[in-house]
Amino acid sequence: MENIQTSRRDFLKTTGLTSFGLALGISAFSKDAVVKKLNPAILKLEINPFIIIDTAGNITIVNPRPDMGQGSTQAVPSLLAEELEVRLDQVKIIQSDGKDKYGSQTSGGSSSVRSLWEPIRKAGAAAKEMLTESAAKRWNVPVAECFAKDGTIVHKPSGKSLTYGELADDASKLEIPKNPKLKDPKDFKILGKYNKRLDVPERVTGKAVYGIDVDIPGMVYASILHSPAIHGKIISIDDTETKKVKGVLKVVKTERTMPHRTSEAVAVIGTNYWAALKGRKALQVKWDNADYEKTLSTEKYFAETYEAAKKQGINYEEKGDFDAKYSSAVKKLESHYETPFLAHAPIEPENAVVHVKDDGTIEIWAPVQGPDWALRDVCAYMKVAPEKVKINVTLLGGAFGRKAYHDFLLEACHLSKELKKPVKVVWTREDDISQGPYRPGMLSHMQGFVQDGKIAGYHHHAIGESILGQVFKGLKPDEADPWLSEEISTSNNKYIFDVASKISYTHVKTDIPIVWWRSVYASNFGWGQECFIDELAHLAEKDPVKARLEIIKDERFRKVLETLAEKAAWGEKLAEGQGKGIAVFKSFDSISATCVTVTKKGNGVKIDKVISIIDCGYYVNPDNVKAQTEGNIVMGITAATKDGITFTNGVCDQSNFHQYNIMRLNEMPEIEIHIVDSGSSPGGVGEPGLPPIAPALGNAIFAATGKRMRKLPFDINNLNG
């Protein structure tokens, strides 16, 4: 009991709460969101329940989704505030630390609102009912005469009220309602409404704390030289010049651990980051890259994918006998669509502060997308139990998938253990761009045919490296990668091909490290799928919108396409040299469609306008849905028209933003975003806007110039290049 009391006091102190009142947890592993009361006796040493209403009326929620710019710091408290009948500014949030009891905690797969929509609202509703019942008991009046408002329970007939704080202790003694009544969406005051994000002010004053901003007393800085060929071996290290740099403390041989292998590296430790970096630049390291000069090559990789396209892949689904129907078809087409490897390049480079303490415990401050996964990886790597690790998740200066890959964090763990000091590792932009992991480059081999003026046959053969295979559990030789196959399947794209269709996959391996990137494979395969449907529409001599509507029955898809056609004034006369293209793609349970308008300019085109439509079901904040979709337009255009990542003779050809360009403000076209309110269960918002961007642009270019782009990226100013 003693322990519990002390740790309770510590917890209360750090969170600024006065005393426990009502604490509710959501059973992390149950699908149907069981709300549980957290009784202090079961709150072990570290007390971090999900929702706490203390006796002073402070309301705190643990946010299980780190914020990397997608808006979870607003979305999570909004779900609670809506049902609890409090204002957004009444809810304080604490970031979860990765421990099991919080369940899944990774910001990824556009999952935050999708997965928390029910459970958090349920906990909020349960708390509200318990508080209401407590008030009714106190006043000895029927519950029906009481209602909740802004953190108080009001007795309607008399007008008297009690605050949540005054009721919290009483409420904690009640049974949790099994089926708390959730609000009817038409009564929502916060969800689905415009609300300013409350943490914007700290992001415009320099006060927001990102991983890179963390300083710990006694901390040293590390800059790490990695093998230019990623997996190369060290032959020799000459640190004579490095040691002359003022502020350099030490040079240590270290390692970079990736899911698929561990590579050698050399760390320069300094009293400040600049010294460490300067020392690192002065290092003379000889690498044995012999094994990788031939294998780490994007040219070789793509050559293999085109070879694979000549053969049969592994079927994921097939309807009709596609090959037979295709070979006898009269009006048919075959094309190859290629997408490059891409770096995530979040503007905050990878970084972490780790302190491996004398007592064997480890404290971490890092911008990680998933504290739960980070914890798992750190425990496995350091061979420690989760209780010994404390992860403080900071804000993330962008991530896009990169910061769910913990090589940089494990580097800091390794160094801190070695040096017995807190260590801050900061990657340079060059590390970020030239070391990976990357979105894998992929090839879409497309075949299709037209019958009776209608698109009737379709085959998408996806070819390339598998994230599941390289980063996760591996892929069997006879397995069509289920993650990527699902994204291009007809159950996802909802196209109905009357005669025959086939989705197949061929695994082409590479040692280039890969991981998911914003919208994952949808960012690759939206390109092949939607440009090829456009090609087939032209083969059928049909308008691309009409041709799609002919083969889609799904109401939500139709509505999205029709809304797009209307907003884009599809079919209206275009100016000389102008062309419009559309594309639609469903990912993370949301459907997004885009229309791009371009005008011929010299050998290239200029993007005049981008209109995106998104149906993401219920959402928290329409402005955030728009913001994320805007971001997807920019990232989508960048991915299509700026630089890809290439490897030649084992080495990445790009190093910084002069070779890996990102769209700039002066290139920003006019944009317009519309949300279709379908009232469906919530879909993702952070990613689904991206996949249709590149194909809509490619289709617009075809409409304007007659030139069919099939390989990304291309130079928008010179399409012949």
Partner 1 sequence: MAIYNLTVNSKKVKVDVEDDMPLLWVVRDVVGLKGTKFGCGMALCGACTVHLDGQPARSCQTPISSVGKNAKITTIEGIGDVKLHAIQQAWIEEQVPQCGYCQSGQIMSAVALLKTNANPNDQDIDAAMSGNLCRCGTYDRIRKAIHRAAEAIKVEEKGIGKR
Q: Which residues bind ligand FES (CB under 6 A)?
A: 69, 347, 398
Choose which of 273, 585, 647, 702 interacts with partner 1 (CB under 8 A). Answer: 273
Contact 287, 231 (CB under 8 A): no
Binding to partner 1 (CB under 8 A) within 13-72 occurs at 67-71
The site string for partner 1 over 148-187 (x = CB under 8 A, - otherwise) reads ----------------------------------------
Using the rule CB under 8 A, is 619 a contact of partner 1?
no
Choose which of 490, 623, 680, 710 interacts with partner 1 (CB under 8 A). Answer: 623
Q: For residue 434, which phi and psi values (nearest 5 degrees)?
A: -100, 0
Q: Is the peptide bond before 437 cis (omega within 30 degrees of 0)?
A: yes
Query: How many H-runs (helices) and E-runs (strands) does the chain carry?
Result: 21, 28
d(CA 571, CA 545) in angstroms, rounded, equals: 9
Using the rule CB under 8 A, is 204 a contact of partner 1?
yes
Token pair 């770096």: residue: 343
**In sequence order, which ranges of 395-521 are alpha helices (DSSP H)?**
407-419, 429-435, 467-470, 482-488, 490-493
Instruction: Enter the tokens of residue 19.
Output: 């005393």
d(CA 49, CA 62) in angstroms, rounded, equals: 7
- Torsion on CA atoms 303, 305, 310, 311, rounded to nearest 10: 140
In the chain, the amino acid numbered 98 is G
Q: Which residue is nearest to ligand FES (CB)?
A: 347
Q: Which is nearer to ligand FES, 350 or 550 (CB)?
A: 350
d(CA 682, CA 614) in angstroms, rounded, equals: 12
Q: How far is the CB of 415 from ligand FES (least distance, A)?
A: 24
DSSP state of 395: B
Q: For residue 416, which phi and psi values (nearest 5 degrees)?
A: -65, -40
Choose which of 118, 145, 169, 213 interacts with partner 1 (CB under 8 A). Answer: 213
Q: How many residues bind partner 1 (CB under 8 A)?
A: 62
From the list partner 1, ligand FES, none, partner contacted by residue 635 (C-beta under 5 to 8 A by kind): partner 1
Choose which of 16, 142, 185, 201 interacts with partner 1 (CB under 8 A). Answer: 201
Q: How far is the CB of 517 from partner 1 (least distance, A)?
A: 12
Contact 403, 375 (CB under 8 A): no
DSSP 3-state assignment of 636? helix
From the list partner 1, ligand FES, none, partner contacted by residue 94 (C-beta under 5 to 8 A by kind): none
In the chain, the amino acid numbered 660 is Y
Q: Which is nearer to ligand FES, 69 or 650 (CB)?
A: 69
DSSP state of 205: T
From the list partner 1, ligand FES, none, partner contacted by residue 385 (C-beta under 5 to 8 A by kind): none
Q: How far is the CB of 201 from ligand FES (least distance, A)?
A: 14
Contacts of residue 546, Cβ cutoff 8 Å, sequence gap at least 6: 537
Instruction: Enter the tokens of residue 264.
Output: 């050698």
Radius of gyration of the chain (CA): 28
Using the rule CB under 8 A, is 538 a contact of partner 1?
no
- Contacting range for partner 1; rule: CB under 8 A; set: 271-279, 323-331, 527-535, 539-547: 271-279
Q: Which is nearer to partner 1, 250 or 556 (CB)?
A: 250
Contacts of residue 692, Cβ cutoff 8 Å, sequence gap at least 6: 526, 530, 582, 583, 584, 585, 592, 593, 594, 612, 636
From the list ligand FES, partner 1, none, partner contacted by residue 662 (C-beta under 5 to 8 A by kind): partner 1
Helices 112-139 and 72-84 pack at an angle, to 10 degrees, of: 30
In the chain, the amino acid numbered 407 is D
Choose which of 38, 43, 123, 345 interacts with partner 1 (CB under 8 A). Answer: 345
Using the rule CB under 8 A, is 692 a contact of partner 1?
no
Using the rule CB under 8 A, is 398 a contact of partner 1?
yes
Using the rule CB under 8 A, is 405 a contact of partner 1?
no
Helices 112-139 and 164-172 pack at an angle, to 10 degrees, of: 90
Choose which of 137, 671, 705, 707 interacts with partner 1 (CB under 8 A). Answer: 671
Q: How far is the CB of 305 from partner 1 (least distance, A)?
A: 28
Contact 526, 592 (CB under 8 A): no
Choose which of 153, 396, 425, 456 interacts with partner 1 (CB under 8 A). Answer: 396
Using the rule CB under 8 A, is 218 a contact of partner 1?
no
In the chain, the amino acid numbered 542 is K
Instruction: Enter the tokens of residue 625.
Output: 């849905």
From the list ligand FES, partner 1, none, partner contacted by residue 664 (C-beta under 5 to 8 A by kind): partner 1
Binding to partner 1 (CB under 8 A) within 422-481 occurs at 426, 428-429
Using the rule CB under 8 A, is 666 a contact of partner 1?
yes
Print the SS3 string covering 32-59: CCCEEECCHHHCCCCCCCCEEECCCCCE
Q: Which is nearer to partner 1, 221 or 341 (CB)?
A: 221
The site string for partner 1 over 274-313 (x = CB under 8 A, - otherwise) reads xx--x-----------------------------------
Using the rule CB under 8 A, is 706 a contact of partner 1?
no
From the list ligand FES, partner 1, none, partner contacted by residue 178 (C-beta under 5 to 8 A by kind): none
Q: Which is nearer to partner 1, 137 or 421 (CB)?
A: 421
The site string for partner 1 over 626-665 (x = CB under 8 A, - otherwise) reads -xx-xxxxxx--------------------xxx---xxxx
Show the CA angle centred on residue 310, arms to residues 309 and 314, nearest 5°: 60
Q: Which is nearer to partner 1, 287 or 400 (CB)?
A: 400
Contact 218, 232 (CB under 8 A): no
Q: Which is nearer to partner 1, 433 or 593 (CB)?
A: 433
d(CA 252, CA 402) in angstroms, rounded, equals: 26
d(CA 528, CA 708) in angstroms, rounded, equals: 12
Q: How far is the CB of 693 from partner 1 (least distance, A)?
A: 11
Q: How far is the CB of 396 from partner 1 (least distance, A)?
A: 6
From the list partner 1, ligand FES, none, partner contacted by residue 92 (C-beta under 5 to 8 A by kind): none
Q: How far is the CB of 224 from partner 1 (least distance, A)?
A: 15
13, containing H or E segment: helix 2-15
d(CA 517, CA 502) in angstroms, rounded, equals: 26
Binding site for partner 1 (CB under 8 A): 67-71, 196-197, 200-210, 212-213, 215, 221, 246-247, 272-275, 278, 345-349, 395-400, 426, 428-429, 623, 627-628, 630-635, 656-658, 662-666, 668, 671
